[in-house]
Amino acid sequence: MRGIVKQFPGVRALDGVDLEVRAGEVHCLLGQNGAGKSTLIKILSGAHAPDEGEVLLDGSPVRLAPPTAAMGHGIA
């Protein structure tokens, strides 16, 4: 993920988030309530589309929404 932005009315939930995850790695997201953890996971799972930025898979941009698209890329 590169430069991911997600906004909701009155709230900028994600502001330019970069994240790199490689196959087989396990990661944990920690943060306060309202920090954007759930929003980030919803973008990765295809439940939300980012307002800005791009999701890359093997270096190529992909669209993960709807969730069936994310599952088609091996993201569950």
Which tens digit of pLDDT belongs to each residue from 20-31?
998 888 999 999
Band (pLDDT 50/70/90 cuts) for residue 73 is confident
Tell me the domains of the chain and their CATH numbers: 2-72 (3.40.50.300)
Residues 6+ apart with CB under 8 A from 74: none
> Distance between CA atoms of 3 and 63, rounded to whole angstroms?
15
Q: Kindly list the distances between the CA atom of residue 63 and the CA atoms of 16, 46, 52, in Å, as whole numbers in the listed order.
A: 17, 8, 12
3-state class (DSSP) for residue 6: strand
Residue 53: what pLDDT? 97
